[in-house]
Each structure stands twice: as structure tokens, then as C-alpha cells.
Structure 1
Amino acid sequence: MTDKDRLAAEHALRLLEGEELITARGLMASDPAFAAAVADWEEKLAPLYDGASGTVPPPAVWARIEAELARPARSAASANVVALQRRVRRWQIASVLSAAAAVALAFFAFPGTKPAPAEPTAPLMANIPIADTPLRLAVTYLPERSEMLVSASGLTADGVHDHELWLVTPDDGAKSLGVVVPGEQRRVAVDAALTRHINDGAQMVLTREPLGGAPKGQDAGPVVAQGTFVQI
């Protein structure tokens, strides 16, 4: 298995973070072969998810796993063991979050009230397909930094139009997240007033605008793509 194959598999398993996640998101947007590999892994892994129960392993199981990983490496693969130790911690966190979500679903909202979506504690991601091409606009939201990573590395400018990214909010309609810069990966600070609307299932749209973005006081241009945030 090549490094790129490994990266595709780990991206499908939602195990990546930091620079590895940014690299994978960039490849998803610019490398059709990599995007196809991720999709292939997701299809292969789907039966495992279908058969999995919602039971959270007891603490003793994690303790035994960590004790085993703490033993001296018996081969040259010690670097892989260290990486696996980090992933065990991420699996623990994911299990706790899944259990908390299951408990939350057991409660009913009082009549006449609408519960507010929980603010995310883990990154959210969205792959926005561009028309009928294999290209995708990759967006990752980092809640701890109130930042978005927008990767448009596979897109090219036409010199006539710009494309603007919008967050669809239930109260105020669509709010602009700024103009997408073709061929680049950008970090975008998210206004505090918008962060409460960014959660699992939140929608985004991409519109075609004049150069510089949608003129103030005018309607946004035509929608050319759309996507939905999902929890990583």
C-alpha cells in the first residue's frame, strides 16, 4: 500500500487530523484518483458500519489496549505503534461523543420549543461537487479556532466571474463566507455570530458572482454547487 493509499483509507475512516487532514482535503479537491480511492474505501467499509452496534466499550477494554501499546516495540514498526496510540485516544473521544449523542436523543423537547443544535466540539467537513466535474470544493470547520479551511486547489479562474461561498442559516437566510480563491487553500476566520449556525447537517451553497463577489444590496448570483457539513 502506497502512502497515498494509506492516506485515502485513513481519510475514509475519519482518522486524520492536523496537517494530514488538510493534505487529504486538498487531494480530494484536486486529485480525482485520490477522491475515487476514498470513495472506494468508504464503500468497502460501509458494511462494517451497518453491522456495528451503539455499545460503548467499557473503560477496562481501553486500559488493556493502552497497556499492550505501552510495551516495548518488538519490530521496526515502533513509529506505527506511536501513531496507533494517538488514534486510540481519538477513538476514545469519538466513543464518548457517540454515547453523549445517544443519551441526548432519549430526551424529548417540551411542546412549543425548538432545541438549539449543539455546538460542535470536533471538526466538520463538507465536500462540494463542482457541476458535473470530478472536482470538489473541500471545506473543513475547526470549532476550537472558529476557522474554516477552504481548499479550491483544483479550480481555475476564468477572469470573468468569482465564486462566493454561503452558509445557509435557518433564521437569516444565507450568510457570505467570502469569495473562493481558485487554485489555493485558505484559512478563513468565521464571525462569532455565524459559529452557532455551523453544525452537523448545516448547508452551504456556492454561487457565481461578478469579480469581487456579490454586490452589496443585490441578490446573490445563481447557485452552482451545494454541500452539507458532516461531523468528522
Structure 2
Amino acid sequence: MTERDQFAAEYALGLLEGEELLVARARAAREPDFADAVAFWEAKLAPLLDDIGGAAPSPALWQRIEAAIEDAPASGEIVDLRQRLRFWRFASFGAAAAAVAAFALVLIQPLPSAPGPQTAEAPMVANIPIGDTDLRLAVTYLPDRREMLVSASGLTADGVHDHELWLVPDEGELRSLGVVRPGEEVRMPLDPGLAALIHNGSQMVLTREPIGGKPPAAAAGPVVAEGTFATI
């Protein structure tokens, strides 16, 4: 099984969280081969759920779950256990899948914690089509971190132009979100003032600029693509 197929299967099984989940969603939106792999695993694995009866897990399984939770870090991010869970998921199917599924439901949930801040804000995503091609600029905004992830892995530089991403605020002028780097996935921290302007439904445009982005004294270049943020 290739890395792509395993990642697609983990996505289809619902094992991914956080940035891995966002990366998988972005790849499914811009990579037809990855989207086909996800669809394949969803079709292949879905019948397993029909075969899982209502039998309760054995006492030994619950003891293993309790022991694992007691040994887990207090942060609630059970990274090591989740990695082992993935191995067990792919190691066997059939009857073993039912037990592993029960184990997964417990381990993937965060540990109880003392009252604290409210639930984290949901990420926002946008897929910006590039011309008449199948390429997409995948943009993910993480409100809690005031951070944006821009994936341009399918794009190539022409050596003559750069492309700059802009936020279209509800009021006022365009705000630059930075120059896109063809063929790369870039993490962009945003200042609080700019981050505060982003919300569900915010629009973005992509302009063609000279190498290095728009010169300070010049007007923005022609718009070549546009997209809208949507809350996940």
C-alpha cells in the first residue's frame, strides 16, 4: 500500500484530526487521484460496518482501554496511542475491525479536563480554481492560531510573474495575504488586525504581479482567480 493509499484510507475511516484532516481535505479537493483513492476506500470499507453486530466489548478490552487512558498524557492528545491504533486498523479486518473500532471511539476522544476556555473556533477553507485547469489553490485559515495554510503544490512558476493572494474585506481596500509560492505548502501567520477581518464568507482574489509581489507604489495587478472562505 502506497503512502497516498494509506492516507486516503485513514481519511475514509475518519482517523485524521487537526492539520492532517485539513491536508487530506485539501488534497481531495485538488488531486483527482487522491479523491478517487478516498472514494475507493469508502466503498471498500463501508460494507464492514454492516457486518458489525451489537455485541458488547469484552471486559478484557475495557481493561486495556482504561489502562491506556490512565497512562496517556494529561493534555488529551493521545498521539502515540492513535499511531498504534492506525497500525491495528490496517493489520486486520473482519471480526477484529469491530474491536478496533470500539477502541478507536474511546482513544480518539480527548480526555476530560477541568473547565476552561470555550470550544475552539472552526477552521475555514477555500479552494480557488486556477483558470480553466483542474488546479486549485487550497487555503485554510485557523482562527485560534491566526494562521493561514496555503497549498500551491500543483502550480509551477513561469519565471516572469508571481501571484499574490488578497483578502477582500467587507469595507476598505484589499489586504495582502502574501505571495503564493508555486509547488509549496506555506504556513502564514497573520497579524491580529488582518485576522479579525476574516469570517465565513470572506472573499479572496489572486492577482498576477511582478516577481516578488506588488510594488509598494503600484496598483494591484489583474485578478486571475477568486474564492470564498467557508467554515468547516
Q: TM-score, normalised by structure 2?
A: 0.63
Aligned equivalents of 1:191, 1:152: Cα separation in 2:
22
> Does residue 197 of structure 1 match 2:197?
yes
CA RMSD of aligned residues (A): 3.5
Alpha-carbon distance in structure 1 between the residues aligned to 2:205 and 2:58: 46
Secondary structure of the corresponding residue to residue 170 of structure 1: coil
Do the aligned partners of 2:121 and 2:144 also contact (CA within 8 Å) in 1? yes
Cα drift, residue 76 of structure 1:
3.3
Measure the CA separation in 1 of the matches of 2:131 and 2:32: 14
Q: Hey, what does 2:227 align to over in structure 1? A: 227
- Structure 1, unaligned runs of 5 or more: 42-67, 90-95, 98-119
Q: Deviations over 1:83-127 (max 9, x none)?
A: 4346777xxxxxx99xxxxxxxxxxxxxxxxxxxxxx81111111
Q: Which residue of 1 aligns with 2:114?
A: none
Q: Relative to structure 2, which stretch is displaced further, 214-223 or 156-165?
A: 214-223
Structure 1 pair 88–197 and aligned structure 2 pair: CA distance change class (3 A): same
Aligned to 1:153: 153
The code of the aligned residue for 1:221 comes to: G
**1:81 maps to which residue?**
102
- Return the alpha-carbon distance in structure 1 between the equivalents of residues 104 and 163 of structure 2: 39
Which structure would you say has the larger RCO, counting Cα contacts within 8 Å and 6 or more residues apart? 1
Cα pair 1:8 1:34 within 8 Å, conserved: no
- Residue 178 (str. 1) matches residue 178 (str. 2): yes
User: 2:215 aligns to what?
Assistant: 215
Query: Aligned equivalents of 1:126 and 1:38: distance in 2?
Result: 20
Structure 2, unmatched stretches of 5+, are 42-55, 63-94, 111-117
Shift of 1:132: 0.8
TM-score by length of 1: 0.63
- Cα distance change of structure 1 residues 172 and 134 upon mapping to structure 2, 3 Å threshold: same
C-alpha spacing 1:3/1:24, structure 2 compared with 1 (3 Å): same
Task: Check the 8 A contact 1:208/1:221 in 2, yes or no.
Answer: yes
Match of 1:137 in 2: 137
Q: Structure 1's 7 and 157: CA in aligned 2 closer, same or farther, altered over 3 A?
A: farther
Give the count of matched residue pairs: 175
